[in-house]
Chains A and B, each alone.
Chain A
Amino acid sequence: MAFALTPEREREVDELLTHYPNKRAALIPVLWICQRQHGWISPEVVAWVAQRLELSTAVVTGVVTFYTMFFQHPVGSHVIWVCRTLSCDLRGAKVIQDHLEEKLGCHAGGTSKDGKFTLLKAECLAACGQAPMVQIDDDYHENLTLEKLDQIIESYRGTPSAQE
Chain B
Amino acid sequence: MSEQKPLLTSRYEIPNAHTIEVAEKHGAYKSARKALLTMKPEDIRAEVKKASIRGRGGAGFPAGVKWGFLNPQEGEQVYLVINGDESEPGTFKDRTILNVDPHRLIEGILITCWAIGAHTAYVYIRGELAHSIKSLDAALAEARAKGYVGEKPFGKPFEIQIYTHSGAGAYICGEETALLNSLEGRRGEPRLKPPFPAIKGAFDQPTIVNNVETIAAVPDVIEMGGEPWCNLSRLAPADGGVRLYGISGHVKRPGIYEAPVGITMRELIDVYGGGMLHDDRPLKAVIPGGSSTPVLRPDLKVDAKKADHPLHPWHGQSEIDVPMGVDTYRALGTMLGTCCAIVMDSSVNMVEACRNLMRFYQHESCGQCTPCREGTGWLLDTLDEICEGRGRPEDVHRLVEIANNMMGNTICAFADGTAMPLLGFVQKFREEFVAAVEKGRPLQARHDDSTAALVRGRAA
Contact = CB atoms under 8 A, between A and B. Distances in A.
Interface of A: 19, 21-22, 24-29, 31-32, 53, 62-63, 66-70, 81, 84-87, 89-96, 122-132, 135, 138-140, 144-147
B185 A24 contact: yes
A32 B455 contact: no
Between A32, A81, A123, the greatest number of chain B beta carbons within 10 A of the residue's beta carbon is seen for A123
B254 A128 contact: yes
Between B170, B248, B357, the greatest number of chain A beta carbons within 10 A of the residue's beta carbon is seen for B248
Nearest to B187: A66
A68 B360 CA distance: 13
Contact of B248 (A31, A94, A129): A129
B342 A27 contact: no
Contact of B254 (A66, A85, A86, A131): A131
Given A28-B165, A86-B249, 8 more contacts: A24-B186, A28-B167, A81-B128, A90-B348, A123-B363, A129-B246, A129-B256, A138-B130
Contacts of B168: 28, 31-32, 67-70
A125 B184 CA distance: 23
Given A92-B455, A124-B87, A131 B448 contact: no
B260 interface: no
B185 A93 contact: no
B132 to A, nearest CB: 9
Nearest to B353: A86
Contact of B451 (A81, A86, A90): A90
B360 A124 contact: yes
Interface residues of B, number: 63
Contact of A66 (B166, B188, B256): B188
Interface stretch (B90-98, B226-234, B434-442): B90-98
B128 A89 contact: no
B215 to A, nearest CB: 18
A25 B166 CA distance: 11
B89 A124 contact: yes
Contacts of B88: 124
A7 to B, nearest CB: 21
A128 B457 contact: no
Given A94-B448, A138-B130, A146-B455, A126 B91 contact: yes
B131 A139 contact: yes
Nearest to A143: B254
Contacts of B149: none
What 4 A-B pairs are tightest by C-beta distance, nearest first? A27-B185, A67-B168, A69-B169, A92-B455
Contact of A145 (B163, B250, B456): B456
Between B168, B344, B353, the greatest number of chain A beta carbons within 10 A of the residue's beta carbon is seen for B168
A31 B182 CA distance: 13
Contacts of B145: none
Contacts of A90: 248-250, 342, 344, 348, 447-448, 450-451
Nearest to B91: A126
Interface string B359-392: 0100110000000000000000000000000000
Between A94, A126, A128, the greatest number of chain B beta carbons within 10 A of the residue's beta carbon is seen for A126
B209 to A, nearest CB: 16
A138 B451 contact: no
Nearest to B132: A126
A135 B128 contact: yes
A147 B353 CA distance: 27
B185 A25 contact: yes
Interface in B129-185: 129-131, 161, 163, 165-171, 182-185
Contacts of A128: 89-92, 246, 248-249, 254, 340, 342
